[in-house]
Copies of this chain bind each other. A is one copy, B any other.
Amino acid sequence: MKEQIKKYFSRYVEFSDTEIDEIYSRLISETFQKKDYILREGQICKSNHFIISGLVRSFYIDNKGNEKIAQFALENWWVTNMESFINKTPSRSSIQALEKTEILIINKEELEKLYVSIPKLERLFRIITENMLIANQRKNDIYFQMKSKDRYVSLINHFPNFTQRVPQYMIASYLEISPEYLSELRKN
């Protein structure tokens, strides 16, 4: 796990082995089984979560009482509810494992201490947060700018193996299309 996170960090910022050791010592490793919750709506989200292996979804209940998927997250991706994490307010979304999922957890207080002792982490998380924002905006583009068919094509272009790992009804929910129409698109 340490090798994986070291390799991931070095995409953006180079850390010494001593720095990696210090960061790694503050992370908590936890394994979630399929359907386990990492965060439940209404809880205060106290940590950010780096996915070592597996797959999670973040979702919320819309004003009609339906589950809506805001995000899927795979290996080498971070997932949290940013508003709850930063402002210590109850989370409006839940995060749930869709497969057996190994996660490295960084607690907010530990992260704040690390920012002080290893200021280069500011750069790393500045870049990670930019990427999270881009993913969020891209999700909005899918909803509002693309037609149903283009949404599906965009998804399989970005994540080729993804559609084999996620139940079809969840993909339909994420793309905001009907399961019947998704099934038709998959036949073509």
Which of A's residues lie within 8 Å of B, judged by CB? 60-63, 68, 70, 81-83, 86-87, 92, 115, 119, 122-123, 125-126, 129-134, 136-138, 140-141, 144-147
Given A60-B141, A63-B147, 12 more A-B residue pairs with CB atoms under 8 Å apart are: A61-B145, A68-B144, A82-B133, A82-B137, A83-B137, A86-B134, A115-B123, A119-B119, A119-B123, A122-B122, A125-B126, A136-B140
Known: A123-B119, A125-B126, A129-B130. A145 touches B60 (CB 8 A): yes
CB-nearest residue of chain B to A61: B145
What's the nearest-Cβ distance from chain B to residue A35, in Å?
Answer: 23
Taking a contact as CB atoms under 8 Å apart, the answer to whether B83 and A134 are in contact is yes
Q: Give the docked Cα–Cα distance between A63 and B147 (Å).
A: 6
Q: Give the docked Cα–Cα distance between A60 and B147 (Å).
A: 15
User: In the complex, which of the residues B70, B87, B119 contacts A134, with contact meaning CB atoms closer than 8 Å?
Assistant: B87
Known: A82-B130, A123-B119, A130-B86. A62 touches B145 (CB 8 A): yes
